């Protein structure tokens, strides 16, 4: 009797504990290490590529041009990217100095760019290509030491169970079959995490489309059960939610809101990432020629690092799988610059010193890097709030000592006569 009672109490305690665990997410040691590693990478390649690429008008083309789903679906019949090469994509990233790739496994059009058993609407089964570019990419990334994240859309414009456009009543779409849709996503995420080697993160998007119960506890819980080290992020433009491992920003540096996406966002305690695209489109756009310059891209990267965020720079490859030469040319110059200057960015942290009018500061161990992206009129820069004693100041690319003066309120570094860099003049400060 006594033993039975104890057993019951024990079981009760166990369930209470289990419930508490599902409510509050505790990242594993592996996950925490993956977060640190992610913060070290600093520069990633974002890729938007799907059957929408064929129309050369961005990834929202179905929605923007009001193309009926059944007509849009025909794009799959003639998607045959003979020019796709995982090797070329990974080399593009490596040459640009990028350390990871985030690729659209499935965007809002609902087309799976990977082989999946839970929907026939995928690149292996529905196109004449019949191959899985996500598998080739995952294998190539693993071989080349590039980390891979999958972009995965919560929003689906075509599936009946999602019922796009349906009114939402009590957190559920009135039409469709919400349980079926959540189950479908769980099955696909299981495939993406268990079948593809070396996947390090899932980048959710589209949850902003409707105010429903997304079952994030189950979805994030499933991902972390399958692989606790996987980094979960969600482009919901809010403060981080329970179960997430990094926080992303879209088309703005953390803390800014120039594009209006970040009005409700709050910077949390997780690793940060901000994404921007190389022209004005995410998916391939044949008329968009507003290419960002080398200087704009380097400044974006440096400004993100100075605010303690990774920079995820997007390209939209062409429907044949190739990357247009304008992107290759620009990123080759960025890459050459990163080869020379990357040590002042990779593996650093930022935001210990707030951004200044002349630029930002990154740091690693006892070294600080002052990135001057706008050379001041006066012949010095002032770095406020430097607590450690500065022992030595040089250009990052030189060994000659630069004149400096340390005061309780900060450090003056004299910049007259220094050789300025075309994009970012980096001053290295060694502290004790
Ligand atoms: C989203 C996607 O819709 C877009 O296609 C692309 O993948 C980008 C990286 O992410 O963009 C958004 C996200 C949110 C809003 C608008 C566009 N929003 O809240 O209005």
Confidence band for 407, pLDDT divided at 50, 70 and 90:
very high
Of 13-22, 51-60, 70-79, 112-121, which range is least confident?
13-22
Tell me the best of 282, 284, 285, 315 to mutate to test the pocket of ligand 1, counting ligand atoms within 8 Å of each CB and taking the most: 282
Confidence band for 264, pLDDT divided at 50, 70 and 90:
confident
Q: How far is the CA of 194 from the centre of ligand 1 (A)?
A: 27
pLDDT of residue 5: 53
Q: Indicate whether 3 pLDDT > 70.
A: no
CA distance 230 to 27: 10
Q: How far is the CA of 236 from the centre of ligand 1 (A)?
A: 9
Of 7-11, 56-60, 84-88, 318-322, which range is least confident?
7-11
Q: Of 22 and 428, which is predicted with more confidence? A: 428
Closest ligand 1 atom number to CA of residue 107: 7
Closest CA to ligand 1's atom 15? 261
Q: For residue 232, give every residue at least 6 positions away whose Cβ sits within 8 Å of its Cβ, in sequence order, or none.
A: 201, 202, 204, 220, 223, 224, 243, 244, 245, 246
Closest ligand 1 atom number to CA of residue 104: 7
Q: How far is the CA of 280 from the centre of ligand 1 (A)?
A: 13
Q: How far is the CA of 239 from the centre of ligand 1 (A)?
A: 17
CA distance 394 to 191: 51
CA distance 308 to 354: 10
Q: How far is the CA of 14 from the centre of ligand 1 (A)?
A: 42
Lining residues, ligand 1, CB within 6 Å:
48, 59-60, 205, 208, 235, 237, 250, 261, 275, 282
The four Cα atoms 128, 130, 133, 138 give a dihedral, to 10 degrees, of: 180
pLDDT of residue 4: 52
Closest ligand 1 atom number to CA of residue 283: 5
Closest CA to ligand 1's atom 12? 206
Q: For residue 56, give every residue at least 6 positions away whose Cβ sits within 8 Å of its Cβ, in sequence order, or none.
A: 284, 285, 286, 287, 319
Please report, for residues 259, 300, 341, 355, the alpha-carbon distance to residue 253 in angstroms, rounded to integers and kept in the order given.
Answer: 10, 8, 21, 11
The total number of residues written for the chain in this structure: 432
Closest CA to ligand 1's atom 3? 206
Confidence band for 12, pLDDT divided at 50, 70 and 90:
very low
Q: Indicate whether 290 pLDDT > 60.
A: yes
Closest CA to ligand 1's atom 18? 261
Confidence band for 23, pLDDT divided at 50, 70 and 90:
low
pLDDT of residue 251: 78
Q: How far is the CA of 339 from the centre of ligand 1 (A)?
A: 32
Tell me the best of 235, 248, 275, 313 to mutate to test the pocket of ligand 1, counting ligand atoms within 8 Å of each CB and taking the most: 235
Give the tens place of pLDDT for each residue, 72-119.
999 999 999 999 999 999 999 999 999 999 999 999 999 999 999 999
Confidence band for 21, pLDDT divided at 50, 70 and 90:
very low
pLDDT of residue 262: 77
Q: How far is the CA of 363 from the centre of ligand 1 (A)?
A: 32
Give the tens place of pLDDT for each residue, 126-151.
999 999 999 999 999 999 999 999 99
Q: How far is the CA of 318 from the centre of ligand 1 (A)?
A: 20
DSSP 93: H
pLDDT of residue 18: 41
Phi and psi (nearest 5°) for 28? -75, 170
pLDDT of residue 1: 42
Closest ligand 1 atom number to CA of residue 250: 9
Closest CA to ligand 1's atom 16? 261
pLDDT of residue 267: 85
pLDDT of residue 162: 98
- Average pLDDT of span 416-426: 96
Q: Indicate whether 14 pLDDT > 80.
A: no
Closest ligand 1 atom number to CA of residue 46: 9
Q: How far is the CA of 207 from the centre of ligand 1 (A)?
A: 10
Question: Mean pLDDT for the chain?
Answer: 94
Give the tens place of pLDDT for each residue, 191-227.
999 999 999 999 999 999 999 999 999 999 999 999 9
CA distance 74 to 322: 22
Q: Indicate whether 2 pLDDT > 60.
A: no
pLDDT of residue 51: 98
pLDDT of residue 252: 75
Closest ligand 1 atom number to CA of residue 282: 6
pLDDT of residue 20: 39
């Amino acid at each position: 009797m006594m033993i039975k009672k104890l057993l019951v109490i024990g079981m009760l305690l166990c369930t209470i504990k289990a419930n508490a665990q599902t409510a509050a997410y505790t990242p594993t040691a592996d996950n925490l290490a993956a977060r640190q590693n992610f913060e070290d990478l600093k520069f990633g390649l974002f890729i938007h590529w799907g059957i929408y690429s064929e129309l050369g008008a961005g990834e929202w083309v179905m929605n923007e041009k009001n193309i009926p789903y059944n007509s849009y679906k025909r794009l799959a019949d003639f998607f045959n990217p003979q020019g796709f090469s995982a090797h070329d994509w990974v080399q593009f990233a490596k040459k640009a100095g990028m350390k990871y790739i985030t690729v659209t496994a499935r965007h809002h059009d609902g087309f799976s760019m990977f082989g999946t058993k839970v929907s026939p609407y995928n690149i292996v089964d529905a196109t004449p290509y019949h191959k899985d570019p996500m598998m080739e990419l995952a294998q190539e990334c693993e071989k080349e030491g590039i980390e891979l994240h999958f972009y995965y859309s919560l929003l689906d414009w075509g599936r009946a169970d999602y019922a796009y456009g349906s009114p939402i009543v009590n957190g559920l779409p009135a039409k469709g079959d919400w349980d079926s849709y959540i189950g479908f996503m769980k099955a696909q995420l299981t495939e993406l995490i268990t079948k593809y080697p070396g996947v390090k993160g899932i980048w959710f998007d589209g949850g902003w489309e409707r105010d429903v119960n997304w079952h994030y506890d189950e979805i994030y819980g499933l991902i972390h059960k399958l692989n606790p080290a996987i980094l979960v992020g969600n482009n919901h433009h809010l403060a981080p939610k329970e179960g997430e491992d990094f926080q992303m920003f879209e088309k703005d540096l953390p803390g800014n809101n120039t594009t209006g996406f970040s009005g409700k966002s709050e910077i949390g305690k997780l690793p940060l990432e901000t994404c921007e695209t190389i022209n004005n489109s995410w998916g391939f756009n044949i008329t968009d020629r507003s290419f960002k310059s080398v200087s704009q891209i380097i400044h974006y990267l440096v400004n993100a690092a100075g605010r303690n965020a990774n920079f995820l720079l997007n390209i939209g490859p062409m429907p044949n799988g190739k990357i247009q030469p304008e992107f290759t040319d620009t990123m080759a110059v960025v890459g050459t610059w990163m080869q020379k200057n990357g040590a002042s960015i990779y593996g650093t942290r930022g935001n210990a010193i707030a951004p200044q009018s002349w630029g930002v500061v990154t740091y690693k161990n006892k070294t600080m890097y002052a990135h001057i992206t706008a050379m001041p009129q006066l012949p010095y820069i002032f770095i406020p709030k430097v607590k450690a004693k500065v022992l030595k100041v040089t250009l990052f690319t030189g060994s000659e000592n630069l004149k400096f003066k340390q005061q309780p309120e900060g450090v003056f570094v004299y910049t007259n006569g220094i050789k300025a860099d075309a994009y970012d003049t980096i001053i290295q400060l060694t502290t004790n």
